[in-house]
Amino acid sequence: MLEFRDVPMPEPAAGEVRVKVMATSGDSRLRAARFPAGMNLIAHGLFGFRRPRQPILETEIAGIVDAVGASVTRYRPGDAVMAFPGGKMACHAEYRCVAETGPIARKPEMLSFAKAATLCFGGSTALHFLDVAAVAAGDRVLVVGASGAVGSALVQLARHRGAHVTAVCSARNADRVRELGAEAVIDYATTDFRGTLTAFDVIFETAGSMTTREALPLLRPHGRFVAIAAGLPDMLATIGAPGRQGRRVIAGPATERPQYVQQLADLAAGGTLRPVVDGTLCV
């Protein structure tokens, strides 16, 4: 549920810019408090129990700088930017202040504000876990949930690193995922991807539909199962890693690094990363 409300206009402090928000994305799981198994208590502790601790939700924006605080040198009013306040949220608003040295970058000229506003959440999460899993050229990678925000970024960025990508998604998204760089696509509605005979170096699980027990037999020795949508059971499975023949389980939250935003802007400007937008809502 969205509720329109007037709130005070934020004023940029020293070192901050104020962005007039032209577009922002939405996370239905966070808005509905739909958390992974076993994570309800932890998540509600972070975000609030009876209601959101931060009543203005969402994590990423694209817009135009309309004011700057003292000592700002990198941006000026009129600059088109994209930003990722991340866990601090407050992006479903007309204005949002961001530190000029924080998670902000100039918007690639060829991208609309709507497309630029979808780059950071999925892209930052993908960059973090690609680094942690040390994905390299020649790796065989499985992405479960390949058409979502994180999954679509993983397909593109893993392919950019030279990996061979197999994607799991619905039939209606198969062509799109192939266009993003997947060499093979498995329709989860007609094929049990857990029974594939292919051995993978890395499995990225973004949909919460594969457990550690199911993933480990599909990994090569020293393979990595990256449980991005992990519940508490899969997080506990990381204890004692490495596992059989060096197979590892990687889980936990992604690190939000300001430099990821600039990296994502550069990748999009170069045509390596294409944002995926299913639809827009004008308010």
Q: Which amino acid is at 142?
A: L
**Is 278 part of any domain?**
no
The least confident of 70-79, 98-107, 136-145, 225-234 is 225-234
Task: Please tell me the predicted confidence (pLDDT) of residue 283.
Answer: 67
- 67 and 175 inside one domain: no
CATH code (residue 202): 3.40.50.720
pLDDT bracket for residue 166 (50, 70, 90):
very high
> DSSP letters of 42-55?
HHHHHH-SSS-SSS
CA distance 89 to 55: 9
- Give the predicted TM-score (pTM) of the model: 0.87
- 70 and 128 inside one domain: no
Only one residue has tokens 């709507």, namely 114
CA distance 148 to 4: 28
pLDDT bracket for residue 127 (50, 70, 90):
very high
**Which bin fits 240, alpha (ψ -120 to 50), beta or left (φ > 0)?**
left
Chosen domain end from 67, 91, 118: 118
- 109 and 156 inside one domain: no
pLDDT of residue 237 exceeding 80, the answer is: no
Task: Please tell me the predicted confidence (pLDDT) of residue 31.
Answer: 57
* Whole-number average pLDDT of the chain: 87
- 107 and 166 inside one domain: no
Instruction: Return the structure tokens found at 93.
Output: 């608003």
Separation in Å, CA 213 to CA 52, 202, 239: 34, 15, 14
Kindly report, residue by residue over 110-121, the tens digit of the pLDDT. Answer: 999 999 999 999
Task: Please tell me the predicted confidence (pLDDT) of residue 279.
Answer: 74
Separation in Å, CA 276 to CA 32, 175, 218: 22, 13, 29
pLDDT bracket for residue 25 (50, 70, 90):
confident
- 149 and 241 inside one domain: yes
Which of 185, 127, 132, 131 lies closest to 156, judged by CA? Answer: 127
- 92 and 127 inside one domain: no
Q: Which residues contact 278 (CB under 8 A, 6 or more apart)?
A: none
**Is 264 part of any domain?**
no
Kindly report, residue by residue over 42-95, the tens digit of the pLDDT. Answer: 444 455 556 665 577 788 999 999 999 999 999 999 999 999 997 787 788 999
CATH code (residue 77): 3.90.180.10
**Is 127 part of any domain?**
yes
Report, as an integer, the average pLDDT of 157-181: 97
- 169 and 91 inside one domain: no
Task: Please tell me the predicted confidence (pLDDT) of residue 271.
Answer: 95
- 125 and 110 inside one domain: no
Rounded to 5 degrees, φ, ψ at 184 are -140, 145
pLDDT of residue 201 exceeding 60, the answer is: yes
Number of separate domains in the chain = 2
pLDDT of residue 41 exceeding 50, the answer is: no
Q: Which domain holds residue 67?
A: 16-118
- 38 and 95 inside one domain: yes
Chosen domain end from 118, 146, 167: 118
Task: Please tell me the predicted confidence (pLDDT) of residue 253.
Answer: 83
Pairing mode of beta strands 200-205, 184-187:
unpaired
Kindly report, residue by residue over 245-271, the tens digit of the pLDDT. Answer: 788 889 888 888 999 999 999 999 999
**Is 227 part of any domain?**
yes
- 226 and 161 inside one domain: yes
